[in-house]
Structure 1
Amino acid sequence: MSIGSTWAGTHDFTASALIEATSISQVQDAVAHTRGQVRALGTRHSFNDIADSPGTLITVTGIDANPVLDEESATVTVGAGIRYGELATWLEARGWALHNMGSLPHISVGGAVATGTHGSGVTNGCLSAAVAALEYVDAQGELRSVSRGDEGWEGLVVGLGAYGIVVRLSLDIQPSYLVRQDVYRGLPWQALLDDLTGIMASAYSVSAFTTWAEDAVQQVWRKSRIGAGPEPMPDWLGARVERPDESGLVGVDPSNLTAKAGVRGAWLDRLPHFRLDSKPSNGEEIQTEYFVDLADGPDALRAVRELAADIAPHLFITELRTVASDNLWLSGAYERDTLAIHFTWRKRPAAVADLTPRIEAALAPFGARPHWGKVHSMTADAVAAAVPRLADARAQFEALDPEGRFANDHLRTLALRA
């Protein structure tokens, strides 16, 4: 059977079967009675083969999300297959919110958490940092639960699907809040390099966009919580407020984007860049992302800018974001406040394959870590050098799944499974 490809068509799945589960018990039965290897498949927003399997894929997106709100503990428990935008809508209707969202509200909660996906904000942890508990189906088909504070917790949240199939998660929530989104154009590169942390901390969530070859950073999106910090200014550090006729990103229909121009709105309608009812991003693209210590950010950016002339012809846009430090072993922000350097490439696989090793070489002195769900060229040795708890994560995965039911070639390439 043909299972199809990832969302952007960057990988064709090779698994021999796909089980579209409609209940947790069906996931348990599938794992217990399916021979060979199995893997969880979410909303297919990865760009590599991390979700593939030589055996069977099991998707949980068809299981009723059944959200359960616990106002006393300020958590919501939800099915792993629900999309962030759907959960956000459910929470907002009840007066609650998430601490952050990724640029795409279309991604599943389980898949985003498992790969360490993030939004932006110097004080905002990645999406995985909000997880308070999770339930997963283990290699024998048994339903297991684990909570924050349990032994090994830090190695299981960003788990890459390597030890089981996560079916439900509990997430920290907070009272709903309002956000305004203001876009600035033409921030001088030197201004960004001189005070990277200050600029990225100038609002609750900040993203900077560039194609590297410009004299000035193309756009800076500042998402400000209403009542928390100063109101944005019309002119800022040599940048100017975007005009209405300039709205949009390279190759993106402006109508697909969340409202800007300082218009106040609910958090779920401002923190993502793209609307849930729209086409996410460009579609015909390849994505790559690396994480470096925020303190090293200016030097890391200077190093990549040396390659600007070669990068720009193959790039839609680069987005710069920040992620607060956490203690999750496989998080890109493990034990360091982080600058995320993201590349949205034109769909030119050969050019990307040529450029990623060069970018990685430029970022190697800064201990760059890859985004697990995106395209990179890093070797197992390079990943191990940049990810301090990689060996501990592997040991835990192998202890929970000694037969390698959830292993695949991608995890072996990263030296996360034998």
Structure 2
Amino acid sequence: MTRDDEGGRPMGEERNWAGNIRFSGTVAHPGTADEVRALITSGGPVRTLGTRHCFNDIADTTGALIALDRMPVVREISPERDAVRVSGGLRYGDIAPWLEAEGLAFANLASLPHISVAGAVATGTHGSGDAIGSLATAVRELTLLTASGEVLRLHRGDPWFDGAVVGIGALGAVLELVLDVEPTYQVAQRVHERPRWDAILGDLDAVTSAGTSVSIFTTWQRTDDADQLWIKQRGADDLAGDLPARLGAVPAEVERHPILGVDAEACTEQGGVPGPWYQRLPHFRLEFTPSAGAELQSEYLVPRGDAVAAIEAVRGMADRISPLLLVNEIRTVAADRLWLSGAYGADVVGLHFTWRPDEPAVRALLPDLEAALPATARPHWGKVFTLDGAEVRRRYARWDDFAALRAELDPDRRFVNPYLERLGF
């Protein structure tokens, strides 16, 4: 077993998925709600852990780190068959095949099926699609165990609901969620190579609406064209028409990984072959290490009206970005009303950066990148960013409302950690 050089502990036991964060507290694996309550109310700081697919210290604390992976498994379909109740510690990849066997589906999945439901929802994590909201928009009920030990159930439409869903771990432990589902469907995925940037930016709306889910991948090693255009479409038909050709793109002759030169074995099937929604909407298969493995990530979500300017700003920094970059993915998310969502109040375009695992160099670059992006860009809560707390707060219209909700549910600041302190809590 590989050991941590400084502490002699097993690698991964007290680290995040990427290995760049060493957790400061003691990890506990409660098996019941009463055990979670005892940990929360025993005194001292506390945070909850999902699958640790975060790249900053959002989940860290010096006290108790509550992992929900050993809680009882809850998977219950509503009588109307339009919703499913699940335990927060489950991964999407644990739920999706079971849903498919029941003839049901989620409207959306993120790039990775490896992430926990509670963690993904709490950070506003998303997939891609002009008409598809983040994973948090599927939540219709949330069960929180708060700092007082109270079980709080919030339903869509309740006064606090829109503030609590994307809760960045500040409000309590998310034990269960009820999520919207729909009848199962199939998706076909096609990859096109070398679309021209000028053509993409000349009609970005046409590009992102070419499929149910569309992603543009590039390493910025060239600034005239991107590397790949991935189009996922419900059903078997290719509804993009001649758009890829008008962009100067050509169909990929073999299956591709988003990162050039990496074997595509870990990726979901391409080539326009229809398959179940959960085997096409993610970029990566559950049984493989996703993406590159050794990496860092940042993401900024900008309103669609600012998207072209944001991409041009990144394009203008290509010579500085590309040496640190594994791949940049550009994708879309529909607007919502969740207070701390990156898509609050506006359809957004996400600029997602998968970096080489050189955190000092990445952190040295990010202030210049953040300054070049439009002042409307909101950083993903679980990824690396350097914007100061005051500037982050300025970009959320309901920030003060969330701060009041946090103070109401956690007056003793049990869930507040250094990450939240930097945001002003």
**TM-score bucket of the superposed structures, by smaller chain:** over 0.9
1:367 aligns with 2:376: yes
Distance in 2 between residues matched to 1:231 and 1:313, nearest whole Å: 33
Letter of the aligned partner of 1:63 in structure 2?
M
Of 213-222 and 119-128, deviating more is: 213-222
State the SS of the aligned residue for 1:216: coil
1:41 aligns with 2:52: no
Q: Name the counterpart of 1:189.
A: 197
1:263 aligns with 2:266: no
In the TM superposition, residue 156 of structure 1 has moved relative to its aligned partner by: 0.3
Q: Name the counterpart of 2:17.
A: 7
In the TM superposition, residue 192 of structure 1 has moved relative to its aligned partner by: 0.9
State the SS of the aligned residue for 1:104: coil
Q: Name the counterpart of 2:343.
A: 333
Q: Name the counterpart of 1:23.
A: 32
Letter of the aligned partner of 1:209 in structure 2?
F
Distance in 1 between residues matched to 2:368 and 2:255, nearest whole Å: 36
Cα contact 1:293–1:366 (8 A) shared by 2: no
Distance in 1 between residues matched to 2:101 and 2:241, nearest whole Å: 28
Q: Name the counterpart of 1:210.
A: 218
1:55 aligns with 2:102: no
Q: Name the counterpart of 2:3.
A: none
In the TM superposition, residue 142 of structure 1 has moved relative to its aligned partner by: 2.0
In percent, how many aligned pairs have the same letter?
A: 44
Q: Name the counterpart of 2:181.
A: 173
Q: Give ranges in structure 1 of 5+ residues lacking alignment.
A: none
Letter of the aligned partner of 1:325 in structure 2?
A
In the TM superposition, residue 351 of structure 1 has moved relative to its aligned partner by: 1.2
Q: Deviations over 1:221-278 (max 9, x none)?
A: 0000017882655845311100117555236431000000111100000000000111
Task: Please point out which of 157, 161, 180 is paired with 2:165.
Answer: 157
Q: Name the counterpart of 1:393.
A: 402
Distance in 2 between residues matched to 1:288 and 1:84, nearest whole Å: 22
State the SS of the aligned residue for 1:217: coil
What is the TM-score with the length of structure 2 in the denominator? 0.94
Distance in 1 between residues matched to 2:226 and 2:406, nearest whole Å: 42
1:317 aligns with 2:327: yes
Of 175-184 and 392-401, deviating more is: 392-401
Cα contact 2:327–2:353 (8 A) shared by 1: yes
State the SS of the aligned residue for 1:309: helix
1:357 aligns with 2:367: yes
In the TM superposition, residue 354 of structure 1 has moved relative to its aligned partner by: 1.2
Q: Name the counterpart of 1:272.
A: 282
Cα contact 1:30–1:141 (8 A) shared by 2: no
Distance in 2 between residues matched to 1:313 and 1:10, nearest whole Å: 19
Structure 1 stretches of 4+ with a deviation exceeding 6 A read: none
What is the TM-score with the length of structure 1 in the denominator? 0.96
Distance in 2 between residues matched to 1:143 and 1:40, nearest whole Å: 16
Q: Deviations over 1:173-207 (max 9, x none)?
A: 11000000000101000111011111011100011
Q: Name the counterpart of 1:292.
A: 302
State the SS of the aligned residue for 1:72: coil
Cα contact 2:236–2:274 (8 A) shared by 1: no
Task: Please point out which of 379, 383, 405 is paired with 2:414.
Answer: 405
Q: Deviations over 1:49-82 (max 9, x none)?
A: 0001121111111112220001416100000000
Q: Deviations over 1:351-401 (max 9, x none)?
A: 1011110110011x3411000000000001210221221221111101111
Cα contact 1:318–1:341 (8 A) shared by 2: yes
Q: Give ranges in structure 2 of 5+ residues lacking alignment.
A: 1-6
Q: Name the counterpart of 1:346.
A: 356
Cα contact 2:196–2:225 (8 A) shared by 1: yes
Distance in 2 between residues matched to 1:88 and 1:219, nearest whole Å: 27
Cα contact 2:194–2:227 (8 A) shared by 1: yes
Q: Name the counterpart of 1:78.
A: 86
Q: Name the counterpart of 2:152.
A: 144
Letter of the aligned partner of 1:279 in structure 2?
T
1:90 aligns with 2:105: no
Distance in 1 between residues matched to 2:349 and 2:264, nearest whole Å: 26
Q: Name the counterpart of 1:67.
A: 75
State the SS of the aligned residue for 1:167: strand
Letter of the aligned partner of 1:155 in structure 2?
G
Q: Name the counterpart of 1:224.
A: 233
Distance in 1 between residues matched to 2:384 and 2:352, nearest whole Å: 11
Query: Alignment RMSD, CA only?
Result: 1.6
1:119 aligns with 2:135: no
Letter of the aligned partner of 2:250 in structure 1?
R
